[in-house]
Structure 1
Amino acid sequence: MKIVALAGSIIGSKTKIAIHKMVDILQEKYPQHEVTILDLAQYNIAFSDGRNYVDYEGDTKYVAQTIMAADAIVIGTPTFQASIPATLKNIFDLLPVNAFRDKTVSVIVTAGTAKHYLMVEQQLKPILAYMKAHIVPTYVFIEEKDFLRQEIVNDDILFRLERLAEDTVMIADAFVEIRAIKDAEYDF
């Protein structure tokens, strides 16, 4: 299985810390799966202009094709102005409407305050559902107070990240089996 861990912002460190921790967990618990990290700060991504994602070049094409080739995606996003960052929205705009069909998507959110937890429910999950993702129902919400010296120090957050990794892989595996059963119904 191909898993992409997407750090959905070009600034800040907390989302990257959380995504890297998730990658560590996935690589430790599921070494048989291919895990790729896409830190948007490391790429020069063009603004979406309506073209098909394969018609872009360079970093934009690489990031879009890597996401499209994934079986599961872990999206890490900070909360900016009670919303997702423009860099993450641009990634969604670069991809086709059905980009997440047959893909499992889980979410890690960082925010300065607990008041932003509904951003996932009111903004991010509807976008993912529109793009046909199999959304892992639970997500990990990490506040400023859960970090100290560039590390996650809240044991509950670490436990929830491990659980999110398990849920992501289990749900992705389950949907692969469901798809195989469904495909076997067709005799052509």
Structure 2
Amino acid sequence: MKILLVDGTIIGTKTGVILEQVKDYIEKLNMNYTLEIVSLANYEHQFVDGRPFENYNDDMKLLVSKFEQADGYIIATPIFQGSIPGVLKNTFDFLPPKTMRYKPVSIVANGGTYQHHLVIENQLKPILDYFRCLVTPNYVYTHSSHFDENNVIVEEDVHERLRELARVFVQYVEMSKTLCKEPIDTH
């Protein structure tokens, strides 16, 4: 099973730190998954504007390919101005609707205020629902105070929540192996 851990921003390091920790916790569960961290900062992005797919650059096409080939996702996003970054939304806008269908997704986010966790509920979850993802019920929201000056996670409660997120995500991945991804004709 191929799992993409998506760092949904082009600036900052906290979401990458969180993804590395989640990756470590999934690996400790001894699952035989291929885990790949995809940092949107490493791609040349173009605005999704309705042009034919073949007219986008190779980086945009590569991102779609990585999403299509994955069996599950951990989406990490900072919260900027009470919203997800435009680059993450643009990436979602470029994906064909069936790309993430019935594939497990867990969410981790970081923000500067404690109230911004609602962005996950009000913006990110509806996008993932549109894709018909299997969104795990336990996301992890971190605050700047959960990190030290070197962006190391110092809050033990955050580690506990990330371990639990990894455990539940793995159960969703295992469940999804037997889930039919296409409609079954019942006529």
TM over 0.5, yes or no? Answer: yes
CA contact (8 A) 1:53 1:95 kept: no
Q: CA offsets per residue over residues 22-69 of structure 1, 9 Å max, x none? A: 122223323510001101111112221235657644221111110111
The change in CA–CA distance for 1:53 and 1:166 in structure 2 (over 3 A counts) is: farther
Counterpart Cα distance in 1 of 2:23 and 2:179: 26
The superposition leaves residues 79-107 of structure 1 with CA deviations (integer Å, 9 ceiling, x where unpaired) of: 01111000100110110122210211110
- Partners of 2:38 and 2:128 in 1: how far apart? 18
Q: In the alignment, which residue of structure 1 is the partner of 2:136?
A: 136
Q: How does 1:1-188 map to 2 (within 5 A)?
A: 1-51=1-51, 56-148=56-148, 149-179=150-180
Q: What is the CA–CA distance in structure 1 between the aligned matches of 2:22 and 2:53, rounded to whole Å?
A: 27
Please say if residues 102 and 134 of structure 1, whose CA atoms lie closer than 8 Å, have aligned partners that are also in contact.
yes
Q: How many residues align?
A: 184
Instruction: Give the CA RMSD over aligned residues.
Output: 2.0
Distance 1:4 1:172 in 2: 12
Is the 1:17–1:151 contact (alpha carbons within 8 Å) kept by the matching residues of 2?
yes
- Shift of residue 108, structure 1, vs aligned partner: 0.1
Q: Which amino acid aligns with 1:137?
A: P
Q: Which runs of 4+ in 1 moved over 3 A?
A: 51-57
Q: Distance in 2 between matches of 1:51 and 1:70?
A: 25
SS of 1:66's partner is helix
Q: Name the CA distance, whole Å, in 2 between partners of 1:137 and 1:53.
A: 33
Q: Letter of the aligned partner of 2:151 in structure 1?
A: Q
TM-score, normalization by structure 1: 0.90
Identity over aligned residues, as a percent?
36
Query: Unmatched 5+ residue regions in structure 1?
Result: none
Measure, in 2, the Cα distance between the counterparts of 1:127 and 1:112.
22
1: distance between equivalents of 2:136 and 2:77? 15
- Counterpart AA for 2:154: V
Question: Structure 2: 5+ residue runs without aligned partners?
Answer: none
Structure 1 residues 70 and 140: CA distance shift in structure 2, 3 A: same
In structure 2, how many angstroms separate the alpha carbons of the residues matched to 1:53 and 1:163?
38
Instruction: Please give the alpha-carbon distance, in whole angstroms, between the structure 1 residues aligned to 2:140 and 2:62.
Output: 27
For the residue of structure 1 that corresponds to 2:177, the secondary structure is helix
TM-score normalised by length of structure 2: 0.90
1:123-162 superposed Cα distances (whole Å, 9 cap, x missing partner): 1100100111111111000011100022000111111111
